[in-house]
Chain A
Amino acid sequence: MEPDDLNSLSPDDAKLEAWLRANASLPRLPDDGFSCRVLAALPPVSRKARVSERRRVVLCGAAVGVIVAVALYFAGTPGDFVWPTAGPAAGDLVAQFADPKLPVALGVALVTLGITFWRQVCRWVRI
């Protein structure tokens, strides 16, 4: 038969609980190399870390790109920068690259992509 109120402790219960707490507690088990065994069994660094590393690099690249774009915007007058259009003569495209701003922007983009996907590039090269 259960007591009506499972939350309440009779004086006898309180004594028994106190006695059990005092006498039943377990001594701490010595490690005896258990922690080392666990660490040796852990899987290698998860993809999670690599992904977050990649995310950081992409964010840094994006931040640099934004800074460069803003700097270029404020450095020149609006209209200075003309986007290359498809179809015009090759001479026009070469003229676009004569402006140092475009190669700088492309360079930043390429370096960012290179750093971000360095592992994949290495893998492709090996294949």
Chain B
Amino acid sequence: MTDAELIARVLVSDDHAAFGELVGRHQSAVRHFLRHLSGGDAALADDLAQETFVQAWRGIGRFRGASSFATWLLGIAHNHWRNARRKQRTVSAEPEHLAALETVPSQAPLSDLRHDLGRAMQTLAAEEQTVLHLNFQQGLTHSEIADVLQWPLGTVKTHLNRGKEKLRPLLASWNPTI
């Protein structure tokens, strides 16, 4: 059954099973994205992901199908993360989320390549990291990234190009041809 058919079932009869299937399909992308945004804080990311899906359940009538369901969900997730960060900032001056990357222990041993890639990514600006994450780790197109982040397409491309240029020398040891 396609996403569109499952969404129709949710709309027509508040079908929990159909929505559960949608959650199962998209949980990985949403949780990965929120883990990225929250600097690897899996507990916070999962709480935000849960709120994201509950929000999606409430607002599924507003999904018009102009973008894919995954893109729509990632947009909601990004808004939730921004709101959470705003609240956190009013409570205490937390360090930028990127700094947390180094303090979060990884749950599984990373390969050397992944480790180096992660370290290289940390040297980039937050916007560059997010755009690269959505493009190369989640497989979104430039216009989908612009939809998710609510940024102009040109801004997305600029961050992407800057990020790639910064990564190039850092990853040269893995592949001299790049």
Report A's interface with B, CB cutoff 8 A. Answer: 2-3, 6-7, 12-13, 15-17, 19-21, 23-26, 28-29, 31, 34-35, 37-39, 41-43, 45-46, 48-49
Which one, B62-70, B88-96, B97-105, B160-168, is touching chain A?
Answer: B160-168
| Interface assignment of B58: CB less than 8 Å from any CB of chain A | yes
Given that A6-B158, A25-B137 are known contacts, is A49 also in contact with B50, CB under 8 Å in the complex? Answer: no
* A20 vs B164: C-alpha distance when bound (angstroms): 9
Contacts of A15 in B (CB 8 A): 175, 177-178
Contacts of A45 in B (CB 8 A): 14
Please state if A39 and B28 are interface contacts (CB–CB under 8 Å).
no
Query: B178 contacts which of A2, A16, A48 (Cβ < 8 Å)?
Result: A16
* A34 vs B46: C-alpha distance when bound (angstroms): 8
Please state if A34 and B31 are interface contacts (CB–CB under 8 Å).
yes
* A37 vs B61: C-alpha distance when bound (angstroms): 22
Instruction: For the complex formed, measure the closest distance between the CB of B14 and the CB atoms of chain A, giving whole angstroms.
Output: 5
Please state if A26 and B137 are interface contacts (CB–CB under 8 Å).
yes
* A35 vs B46: C-alpha distance when bound (angstroms): 11
Please state if A12 and B138 are interface contacts (CB–CB under 8 Å).
no
* A37 vs B139: C-alpha distance when bound (angstroms): 27
Given that A16-B164, A19-B178, A34-B27 are known contacts, is A26 also in contact with B57, CB under 8 Å in the complex? Answer: no
Instruction: For the complex formed, measure the closest distance between the CB of B15 and the CB atoms of chain A, giving whole angstroms.
Output: 10
* Dominant secondary structure at the B interface: helix
Please state if A2 and B113 are interface contacts (CB–CB under 8 Å).
no
| Interface assignment of B80: CB less than 8 Å from any CB of chain A | no
Some 21 contacts from A to B, beta carbons below 8 A apart, are: A6-B154, A6-B157, A6-B161, A12-B178, A16-B164, A16-B171, A16-B178, A19-B174, A21-B136, A23-B117, A23-B174, A24-B132, A24-B136, A29-B27, A29-B31, A34-B31, A38-B20, A39-B16, A39-B20, A46-B58, A49-B13
Contacts of A21 in B (CB 8 A): 136, 139
Query: A34 contacts which of B49, B113, B137 (Cβ < 8 Å)?
Result: B49
Contacts of A35 in B (CB 8 A): 20, 23-24, 27
Per the 8 Å Cβ criterion, residues 140-178 of B in contact with A are 154, 157-158, 161-162, 164, 167-168, 171, 174-175, 177-178
| Interface assignment of B78: CB less than 8 Å from any CB of chain A | no
Contacts of A3 in B (CB 8 A): 161
* A26 vs B133: C-alpha distance when bound (angstroms): 9
Query: A25 contacts which of B20, B49, B139, B164 (Cβ < 8 Å)?
Result: B139
Given that A24-B137, A29-B31, A31-B27 are known contacts, is A2 also in contact with B50, CB under 8 Å in the complex? Answer: no
Contacts of B81 in A (CB 8 A): none
* A35 vs B136: C-alpha distance when bound (angstroms): 25
| Interface assignment of B125: CB less than 8 Å from any CB of chain A | no
* Shortest Cβ-Cβ A-B pairs, 3 listed: A6-B157, A29-B28, A20-B136
* A38 vs B114: C-alpha distance when bound (angstroms): 30
